[in-house]
Amino acid sequence: MTSRERFLETVLFGKPDRIPLAPGGGRKSTLETWHTQGLPADVKNYVDYAYRQVGGKLDWGKGGPGFGVSERMIPEFEEKLIEERENSRVVQDWKGNVCEIGKEFTVEYLRNAIDFVTRRWIKCPVESWADWADMKRRYDAQDPARLPKNAVELGNQLRNRDWPVEVHFSGPFWQLREWLGFENLCMLFYDDPKLARDMIRFWEDHVAVLLQRIFQHVTPDVVHISEDMAYKSFSMISPQMAREFLLPTWKRWGEVVRAAGVPVYAVDSDGYIGELIPLWIEAGVNLCDPIEVAAGNDIVAFRKQFGKKMAYRGGVDKRAMAKGGKVIEAEMARIMPVIEDGGFIPGCDHGVPSDVSWPNYVNYVRLLARATGWLDGKA
């Protein structure tokens, strides 16, 4: 099978030859630690390197380009340092947020997921209807810069691809939080629901137009939205409020996705998502990640509760990876029934943190490769 066929057969509960091997990766601090523990500094593809280290012989299959799309504001805000403090910096990021970050970070860390960065929000760009009117002008969905310059050529190249193509968007909760800040967003649902609905509908239309523009050139395998709307034990807003404010948008996008023939509609959220999965199923979502174990997500229980209406990615406890040995072996045994049942690509339940040592990561890749059919039991 090609990597594309393998991916789709897995998440659509088909019969893959093997399950995609996707252990998950680390950010800057993790890689820096691994380089002191045995990962050669010149190795770029450390997943493949770990797989070969444990005796892996199989061919991953060729990869290739995706189809990039920019949902971000145009123009962006100026990234700048506002104040140097004794142990921190106050900066403005590209989204217009003013926040305090540690001395070891620069404003560039807030643009891309270079590392795990704790920050204190000071001011967000939308605090009033007037701010919102000014923000909207930055989101022209028809701006030519939002699609690749070679969109026609790229679409032709991707027509008979052997690898899966996934396009990503921010969901309505995620995007409003970017504009308003978390606390202000939660208060807005009560204090000014009219403004909340106006912002949600605007974003819904923005993404719907971008999807239609993409589909003129390529039919991706996955449309993936990021929401991050759950705490350790509950969703950040009640399921009832999510149904009222967010479900119509999720449903509309799902209809657009299905009408275009895209087979997978996926949602990402950290935290406990058990309350949200029924809403996502109702919206047409059929894949979610990363299934954080520390937040109380039990993928075995989810499979019993929701059956094959939902597939999953992630679900391997990063804390077990850090402990290694018998602990990670027990973790793999725990999720094995879902691996065998299909509709599950196991991997780290978020970014791999730096307390997962390189030797433990390699051993985890060994166990995962065995469980997914990439390594026989002798290695």
Contact 339, 19 (CB under 8 A): yes
Residue 288 and residue 222: Cα distance in Å, rounded?
Answer: 11
Q: What is the C-alpha to C-alpha distance for residues 374 and 96, in angstroms, rounded to an integer?
A: 45
| Contact between 362 and 54 (Cβ < 8 Å) | yes
CA distance 12 to 311: 7
Determine how many CB atoms are found less than 10 A away from the CB of residue 239: 15
- 62-89 pLDDT tens trace: 889 999 999 999 999 999 999 999 999 9
Rounded to an integer, what distance in angstroms lies between the CA atom of residue 42 and that of residue 47?
Answer: 13
Q: What average pLDDT score do residues 146-172 get?
A: 97
In the chain, the domains with their CATH numbers are 3-72+126-372 (3.20.20.210), 78-124 (no CATH)
pTM: 0.95
Residue 126 has pLDDT above 90, yes or no: yes
Buried residues in 99-123 as b, exposed as e (16+ CB within 10 A): bbbeeebebebbeeeebeeebeeee
Contacts of 293 by beta carbon, 8 Å cutoff, 6+ apart: 315, 316, 317, 318, 319, 320, 349
pLDDT tens digits for range 210-245: 999 999 999 999 999 999 999 998 999 999 999 999
- For residue 193, which phi and psi values (nearest 5 degrees)? -60, -25
Within a 10 A sphere around the Cβ of 221, how many other Cβ atoms? 18
Sign of CA dihedral 8, 11, 15, 21: positive
Range of lowest pLDDT (2-6, 319-323, 375-379): 375-379
379 pLDDT more than 50: no
